[in-house]
């Protein structure tokens, strides 16, 4: 049920984008109980002036032009511990596979209800039929 949006710099190599995509999917399965084959991702490349972040840093974290913005929309109800494990798995996995600094892995979760999804055919697959 997650929908993942990944935003990266225009010059990010294809193999780096694939690794980022794979890490996020694997982390969702391993930490957040996401079913296999539930992989829906939108990847956008941006010119340098289209990825805006504080040059002076934020909350003691310094960012670079390699910043990766990740937004995950998924069902509500996961615990803080699950979310923390997900963040850690994604940041460390991306760093290990691509060399992108963990500081440059920026993640936002958007939680929605089960009835907020349609996977096609104009149906609400996660809601019992009336």
Quick one: average pLDDT of 13-22?
Answer: 98
pLDDT digit string (tens) for 75-130?
Answer: 999 999 999 999 999 999 999 999 999 999 999 999 998 888 888 878 888 887 77
pLDDT digit string (tens) for 27-57?
Answer: 999 999 999 999 999 999 999 899 999 999 9
**What's 48's DSSP letter?**
G
**SS3 at position 8:** strand
**What's 109's DSSP letter?**
E
- What value, to the nearest 5°, has the Cα angle with vertex 15 and ends 108 and 37? 60
- Inter-residue contact 4 to 44 (CB < 8 Å): no
| 3-116 carries CATH number 1.20.810.10 | no
**Domain spans, the chain:** 3-116
**Which is nearest to 20 in space by CA: 76, 72, 58?**
72
The H or E element spanning position 36 is none
Q: How many CB atoms lie within 10 A of CB 19?
A: 18
Q: The whole model's pTM is what? A: 0.92
């Amino acid at each position: 049920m997650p929908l993942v949006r990944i935003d990266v710099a225009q010059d990010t190599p294809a193999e780096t984008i694939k690794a980022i995509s794979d890490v996020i999917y694997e982390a969702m399965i391993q930490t957040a109980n996401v079913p296999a084959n539930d992989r829906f991702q939108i990847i956008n490349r941006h010119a340098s002036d289209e990825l805006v972040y504080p040059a002076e840093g934020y909350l003691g974290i310094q960012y670079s032009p390699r910043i990766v913005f990740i937004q995950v929309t998924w069902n509500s109800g996961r615990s803080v511990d699950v979310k923390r494990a997900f963040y850690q798995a994604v940041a460390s996995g991306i760093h290990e596979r691509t060399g992108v600094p963990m500081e440059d892995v920026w993640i936002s979760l958007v939680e929605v209800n089960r009835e907020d999804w349609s996977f096609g055919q104009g149906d609400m697959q996660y809601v019992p039929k009336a």
